[in-house]
Amino acid sequence: MPLVKAGLVVLDCAEPEKLAQFYLELLEGETVAASANLVEVRGADGVRLAFRRDANATPPSWPRPENSLQAHLDFLVDDLDAAERRIVGLGGRPVDTKDATGRYEERGYADPAGHSFTVRLVPPVAPKQG
CA distance 102 to 97: 12
Q: In the beta sheet, which residues pair with residue 94?
A: 109
Question: Using 50, 70 and 90 to split pLDDT, how confident is the model at 122?
Answer: confident
What digits encode the pLDDT tens for the residues 18-66? 999 999 999 999 999 999 999 999 999 999 999 999 988 887 766 666 6
Give the range among 10-19, 45-54, 78-87, 103-112 with minimum mean pLDDT. Answer: 103-112
61: CB partners within 8 A, 6+ apart: 67
Residue 108 has pLDDT above 80, yes or no: yes
Instruction: Please give the average per-residue pLDDT across 109-127, as a whole number.
Output: 81
73 neighbors 9 (Cβ within 8 angstroms): yes
The pLDDT of residue 56: 87
Residue 82 has pLDDT above 60, yes or no: yes
Q: In the beta sheet, which residues pair with residue 83?
A: none
CA distance 19 to 65: 25
The pLDDT of residue 91: 97
What percentage of the chain carries pLDDT values higher than 70? 75
The pLDDT of residue 25: 97
Residue type, 79: D
Domains along the sequence of the chain with CATH: 9-121 (3.10.180.10)
Q: What is the pTM of this model?
A: 0.73
